[in-house]
């Protein structure tokens, strides 16, 4: 499964558990504002982590929109050019 391999690349170890989510395919996005940075907590080994829980912060260098869908379904979206997830984490 591709998701399991991506997890292993990012975290440096095999998936411990998985959960399926259902997502609404938005027809319209409402811009809430500009995202300045994103912070998240995880136990990634790659990208300088040692496998213990840590908080990682990534500041955006170019404009990134924080959006929600037209149904306000509880999903938020970050939309911007050049946002990728690599072994090192979120890059922009």
What secondary structure letter does DSSP report for 13? S
The number of helix segments (H) and strand segments (E) in the chain equals 1, 5
Dihedral, 52, 84, 21, 11 alpha carbons, nearest 10: -20
Name the H helices within 1-92.
Answer: 2-11
pLDDT in tens, the chain (92 residues): 678 887 887 777 788 888 888 877 888 999 999 999 999 888 776 556 676 778 888 888 888 999 999 887 788 999 988 777 766 667 77
- Please give the residue range of the domain that contains residue 44: 2-91
Claim: this prediction has a pTM higher than 0.75 = no
Q: How far apart are CA 12 and CA 29, in angstroms?
A: 34
How many folded domains does the chain comprise?
Answer: 1
């Amino acid at each position: 499964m591709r998701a399991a391999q991506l997890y292993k690349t990012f975290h440096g170890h095999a998936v411990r558990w998985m959960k399926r989510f259902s997502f609404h395919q938005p027809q319209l996005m409402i811009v809430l504002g500009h995202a300045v940075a994103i912070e998240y907590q995880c136990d990634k080994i790659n990208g300088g982590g040692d496998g213990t829980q840590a908080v990682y912060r990534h500041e955006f260098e170019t404009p990134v929109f924080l959006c929600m869908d037209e149904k306000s379904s509880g999903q938020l979206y970050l939309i911007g050019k050049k946002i990728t997830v690599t072994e090192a984490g979120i890059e922009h």
